[in-house]
Structure 1
Amino acid sequence: MNNFININKDAPIGFFDSGVGGLSVLKEAIKLLPRENFIYFGDSKNAPYGSKTVEEVRKLSFAAADYLLGKGVKALVVACNTATSAAIEDLRETYPQITIIGIEPALKPAVELGRKGKILIMATPVTLAESKFNNLMKSFEKTSEIVPVPCPGLAELIEAGKVEGKEVEFFLKDKLHQYMGINIASIVLGCTHYPFIKKELVSIFGSTVPIIDGSCGTAKHLRRMLLQNDLMSERTESGSVQIFNSLDSQKIIDLSYRLLNL
């Protein structure tokens, strides 16, 4: 695979996700790194990863990484919580010469808010079941009441372009009804698809409950690693964004650009 890798300051940064969700992370990266070129690969054909086995997620993650490395990316962002949980260590071991960044649920910033009440973590069943996530949760359980909330089916709704309206509202109320009316410290969005339905969550819980996701922290970590590895682009003009998808569908590409510009 090494012949695919082109460590070049002006090479693009690759992002991948099980579909359109990782665009929420890419949006933050574009704000922080406006001179970089980005290539985004959404694997909507195999979405969602959150309902697959860990081994299936690993295979799909390597296929996505190989696709982006074939396009000569200088760094790789796994913009998918499920893929990060299942495959990030294996990817780093296989490609030690490439900078690989993963995303994980933003539990630490939620705990650091120091608010009283339950911290709800909305995520896919695979993310919640993985040892990486459970170790993260255990590290904070002495000081905080952390409640995992599996949301099978939510990524599929967003993947279909449904980010607001009655169907999304009904889904969220069905999953979260037992937590409505009680003291919620914060809501952590443990899937990169979920920031796109933040507006609906605010309508249910109100604007006083902090809703936190890992996209901003991941973008900041990417910038730190580019600086550390002397990989920042030296261009003076704005960078570009190319979006690819495993589905042979203009509709999903159009949705991707629409979500990126929300």
Structure 2
Amino acid sequence: MKFSLKNKVAIVTGGGSGIGKSISKTLAEQGAYVHILELNADNGNITLNDIVENGGLAEIHACNVANQEDVTRVINKISEKSTINILINNAGVAHIGNIEKTLEADLDRVYNVNVKGVYNCIFSAIPYMKKHGGVIINMASVASSVAVSDRFAYSMSKGATLTMTYSVAKDYIGYGIRCNSISPARIHTPFVDGFLKNNYPGKETEMFEKLSKTQPIGRMGVPQEVADLALYLCSDEASFITGTDFPIDGGFIKLNG
């Protein structure tokens, strides 16, 4: 079976909702044992129950990726029971505003999760992955490489995620570790719905359509499309791919000029 992950062990950060939830479920459907690292226990348990009800294997671990001690504790615990074959660094937070509207506290919050969180997980997992190889996927963004209005802190953090991907891929290629990133444009997740509800009450549908049309393809992506790309990159079918960023953006980067 193509894209089989049978007997593989995967860690997915922020696996309780949105893109992370779809990735967790998709990897489990293809045979992986999925460890969900999640700050929101309720979301994590919903994903866990969905996986188990569909015959998959998974565990949830309460974890704040911004806290290195927390991450190290969880990854050490996982490694005591099994190898670690796959690490998906998906957990992240957003911030809206240009540099003048980005307070130091805002910058710290975004940096601690989106940059330090990715670093913490790779730092903790890579000594184990060096023993047998593996796959690391970092969730970047179209904002990593093109200008997006009012996303100063977020763009900064995702640019760092992209360059971390290249650095890790270069340094650990000799250990059989492949490291790639995925750069989504707008994906229709619960975050989008919450953003529209909080910022455009009564105009959610209108603004949703407006945001959708900013993608040249005419719509937002859906989490499952990102999950399917992640599945491919985790599989043996992608064994010749490392050090590469994969936009999944409805033409946003190349056709928005």
TM-score using structure 1 length: 0.41
Structure with more relative contact order (C-alpha pairs < 8 Å, separation 6 or more): 1
Q: TM-score, normalised by structure 2?
A: 0.42
Higher helix share: 2
